[in-house]
Amino acid sequence: MAVASKIPEVVLSSSSGSKGMPVIGFGTAADSNDGAILKSAVLEAIKLGYRHFDTASAYGSEQALGEAIAQALTLGLVSSREELFITSKLWPSDAHPDLVLPALQKSVRSVILIVKLYLPCS
């Protein structure tokens, strides 16, 4: 098995404080939404040292990512969800004032943790 390595981070600052974001992330968009394959890939990525995962509701990968993270916690591959940095995206169809918060809440429930960066998708 490969040895996990530390991926460099950039510090993002906001009014609520600073947070390190790994500069290399693991994308979860795929032609096939096979949850079992994605969970296995995410677990292997965590073993290799990845801590930044990119997803979006439209990818159909948020739930499988959340399940993989829960399994990684159970297996002791990460000690807490705080070790991970999750980026998700607001899909253009949800980019209306009354739809943004519900879309974010759906993503947070699916991934089962705090999304640390939520971007508009273009």
50 in active site: no
19-120 homologous superfamily: NADP-dependent oxidoreductase domain (3.20.20.100)
pTM of the model: 0.81
pLDDT one-digit tens code per residue, 53-111 = 998 888 888 889 999 999 999 999 999 988 999 888 888 888 888 988 888 888 777 76
The residues spanned by each domain of the chain are 19-120
Residue 120 has phi, psi (to 5 degrees) of -75, 140
> Looking at residue 91, what is its pLDDT?
82
Distance between CA atoms of 44 and 38, rounded to whole angstroms?
A: 10
Tell me the HSE value of 104 on the side-chain side, using a 13 A CA sphere.
15
Q: Which among 26, 50, 59, 85 is annotated as catalytic?
A: 59
pLDDT one-digit tens code per residue, 7-41 = 889 998 888 888 888 999 999 988 777 889 999 99
Residue 113 has phi, psi (to 5 degrees) of -165, 180
Between the CA of residue 37 and those of 2, 49, 80, 89, what are the distances in Å? Answer: 19, 19, 23, 22
